[in-house]
Structure 1
Amino acid sequence: MNGATTRGIARGLKGLLTTAVLSMVVTVAPLAAEPIAQPNAASLYEDGSVLPLSAHGEALLGFLGPLPTGLASDDLAKAVLAAGSSTERNPFGLLVRFTESASAVEVVEVLGAVGGSLTGPSLDGAGLYLVETLRDLDAALVVLGRSPVVKWAGPDAVLSVADLPSDPRLDELWGLTGANGIDAPGAWAHSLGDPSVVVAVIDTGVDLDHPDLAANIWTNSGEIAGNGIDDDGNGYIDDLHGWDFVNDDSDPNDDHNHGTHVAGTIAGVANDIGVVGVAPGVQIMALKFLSASGGGYSSDAVSALSYAIANGASISNNSWGGGGSSGAMSGMLDQAATADHLFVA
């Protein structure tokens, strides 16, 4: 089955899958309720693992049976989150970092023990993978933690936008100007920001047509818009201004407004309209991994940072949080440091 066919199936079944899973198990957290038994569900899924199915896994199998790898941990997991579920982690996926010395045979063996499958290439190019499994996630983490070929394993935690103030007199607070501000006008006297500097806004997306931002939106010079071809060979088709990791497409427009607010603070154009940013001369790369609900998965945050670094952003803004301490987040910081990339949070 090719990628286009798989993606078509995913979009066609997403509504049914979400309805089925949410109707049976609404919340998945590290201490989940006892699984809800579904008649013969386990018999539909023979993966060689002796671990019990998760409640979500049983619900899914009892409703539709096995699906192609990646549909549950990617499309369905995002649909569950977008539907307003209070889930704290991806109900069908775990983040796993394998050791540098792990062989393909060893990886296959440990994946088999947890009924897992790799959903794609390394998220960060350094051994971190999203592993899909319909087995009990906590039990799977215990098995993975004991494996000598696993450096780290943890939940694909849900991250959320950082709260922004909405006071009606917000513009009167110190910040850019005033005795307690950063003296932005003094800095602007020297520079409004180097246009060669690209700042990735890893967030809910950015309003690409906003009058205070449009002139400063980064454009991928190696890509030809709308031709359906990955012209620059970076693995993303028609990524003219960034990427939408929620919907896996080239339109990173904001459907929440948080990312647009952040982008305006960074690089709002000095054009006598609305606001002006701290550095109105830099470019903004729009990378969307948080949905309209304001939530998203750690795996997509890692992918967004990898994209930013690989495509020339020297700085990234990350105004989001949640998920607790995570080896995935530590890995992101290490990845940024290695690339001499400034990770702002």
Structure 2
Amino acid sequence: MAANRILVAMSGGVDSSVTAALLVKAGLEVVGVTMKTFCYQDTPAHSRTCCGLDGILDARRVADTLGIPHYVFDVEKEFTRDVIDDFVAEYARGRTPNPCVRCNANTKFGDLLRRGRALGCDGIATGHYVRSFRVDDGRAGLLRGLDRAKDQSYFLWGLPPELLPLLHFPLGALTKPEVREQARQLELVTAEKPESQEICFVPTGDYRDLLRKRLTPRHPALEPGPIRHVDGHLVGEHNGYAGFTVGQRKGLGGGFAEPHYVIRVEPATRTVVVGPQEALNSSRVRVNDLNWFHGPPEPGEELRVQLRHRAPDVPARVDAVDASDLQLTLATPQLAVTPGQSCAVFRGDELVGGGRILAA
């Protein structure tokens, strides 16, 4: 679908700045929008989050340079409901969430485009390193970014399928150094801006600070509990299972003959189970909260799955799939397959969907 007026989600970083610039250069009518996702009163003045006050100001400066209108949309209510509340609930359940996936699936695309239609926009663009495609039969989809070091398709499996024909990703065929060089040539204020490092709504860098604010006093996730070895014996005590994730080594105490890691979290008994590295291996994965762009895969189909950000994709066979559950066997066992994290599913370079890891 050819878009006449494109809304660009501008975080105030170099990627979204160059995205807007490339679309302007292509002769398209561009509207810049920055999301106000949460209250900034406790945010450090120069926080390196993607959605802080500095980001809003930098996005506006870039929009002025490019000669495009810029708006700030207050999406705090939607973002809190769909991202922050889910983040807190997942940690309370002993799982490790991925808030960027939730933001993309809800706020950054769907909520923005609904508001953007009031501005006459019929397409949306972001600075993700991913490629979009369209074929003659009208099918639209997503491919990995050409720069595998920056590819962000893993974070986009939750997008509503009906949005795919409306999406634009100008950076999908570029590398990060090429993007920065484009920004320098255009003299954009964001050209040398460092990448955001924290979860945007956790500016302190410690997600437990947020949990303490939003969970009820003496919530079990923040209360002491046992640390047990996989063989059952008591190793020690922790000060809240929400501070642990599968594969974690820090904070487990000493006295082991070999390195030990978190193997699983058991919220019902507030237990953190630890063991040696070989206990982290999983060859089967169960996934729920599924989303497919063009229908689910077939049982027996061989696909590739990515089980965490920056991890390589690995071959997997579909053992069973229905509307709410996907069961996979991995060709080779993988370390630290973590409940709550995303399982992105690919056919070659094409992202076909995914879900959240339920168990391994």
TM-score, reference length from structure 1:
0.25
Which of the pair is proportionally richer in strand?
2
